[in-house]
Amino acid sequence: MGIEIEQPTIGLSKIAVSSTHGEDSPYFAGWKAYDENPYDETTNPSGVIQMGLAENQVSFDLLEGYLEKNHSKACTWGKGTRSFRENALFQDYHGLKSFRQAMASFMEQIRGGRAKFDPDRIVLTAGATAANELLTFILADPNDVLLVPTPYYPGFDRDIRWRTGVKIVPIHCDGSNNFQITPQAMEAAYENALSMNLKVRGVLITNPSNPLGISIKKSVLEEILEFVTRKNIHLVSDEIYSGSVFSSSEFTSIAEILEERNYKDCERVHIVYSLSKDLGLPGFRVGTIYSYNDQVVTTARRMSSFTLISSQTQHLLASMLSDTEFTENYIKTNRQRLKKRYEMIIKGLKTAGIECLDGNAGLFCFMNLSFLLEKPTKEDELVLWKSIVEEVKLNISPGSSCHCSEPGWFRVCFANMSEQTLDIALERIHNFVAAQRQQKK
């Protein structure tokens, strides 16, 4: 901090001094390394390239083009002072009806019209982080448990645990079946929680998966739904990458399965979505909870007063998402560009002799560098990661930060940079791997 102030010893809350935020994770440490020495093609070509940030910039030109073309419609308050007053004065917890309707339609579009969403069941939050935490507050009490398949998004350690006091018990998945979730793994995690005298409140999945970059098979989703129904617990399906699947036919939402079952057992299912990934707008902080449980909807709406979205943001996005010509073109073009970028990084890594999990979604790939480890341990993985960050100047996320049980896997993001920068990153990786192999001879 800029001004040094003597800090007397004075007590703070348990949350303030808790270590469950996860800020000491390599996931966040890599970000710090980038912030201190960021790559720039002109001013700092030897700096750290940020490959640890799952941000979608490949279709940002489409958003900019829409705003340039429709500036007067989307970016103003509307006509007259009355519209200004409606936006500027008190905001209902429900949010703007026009925005909730536009969000529901956009979520249906992404799923190819195979699922329907009721705008009255949409609860708006300031991003998916807030949505996941808010749901955790509603579904579980301190020291209760959510079961989460590994590897999982490192931020869940913060979002789910830090302020709620809820614990995460991992559902251990392994590479032998591409880290797919199995009934046996879910049962083992459930029994593990019970052995610690902990109450299991639900299962949290990400579909498509972060960090794996793969969508969950329909048959697996059905098994998960059957498991949570049998145990009488909740299912939270985080679907923030649902529009970033390279082909819509390769993604099945839990909402589709519920419709096929005429909404049987739907009261235990809750979907999280946001515009941060698919639409590439993380700075707008727009997230949603979609619950089939009336009490959860009511409670979430009450609690959303702590995490509202500005009326002006809602007004702009309601205009954009209601333009079906724009959204149809955006979804199609964005999928094509992400697939092209994915194929580019996979091809580049394969040239360096590096294999990746066979993905079909997301803004990243899951890269296997286990062949560079001296020993198959977490400690050796972190030594390798530190070399990549400090010497190769690439910030990638080690699998251990995602609680991956198999050392040597790394999440590598590819959609937050230009193709030219990605080429430079791939060249750095290629040279590093070649040098490592030479040393082992």
Q: What residues are labeled active site?
A: 153, 238, 240, 277
Go through 55-86 and write b for each residue having 16 or more CB atoms within 10 A of its CB, e for each that does not: bbebbeebeeebeeeeeeebeebeeeeeeeeb
Enumerate residues 6+ apart whose C-beta is below 8 A from 152.
Answer: 170, 206, 210, 211, 402, 403
Tokens coding 238 = 């985080």
Q: Which backbone phi and psi does 36 adopt, to 5 degrees?
A: -80, -20
CB 273 within 8 A of CB 227: no
Q: What end-to-end distance do the CA atoms of the chain give, in Å?
A: 47
Cβ atoms of 171 and 148 closer than 8 Å: yes
Let me know if 184 is exposed, middle or buried by CB neighbors in 10 A (0-12, 13-18, 19+).
exposed
Residue 126 per-residue DSSP state: S
Angle at 317 between CA 131 and CA 277, to 5 degrees: 50
Question: Facing residues of 236 across strands?
Answer: 204, 270
Q: How many helices (H) and strands (E) does the chain have?
A: 16, 13
Count other Cβ atoms within 10 Å, centred on residue 280.
23
Torsion, Cα of 98, 293, 158, 306 (10° steps): 50
The CA-based diameter of the chain, rounded to the nearest angstrom, is 75
Tokens at 99, concatenated? 């925005």
Partners of 243 in the β-ladder: none
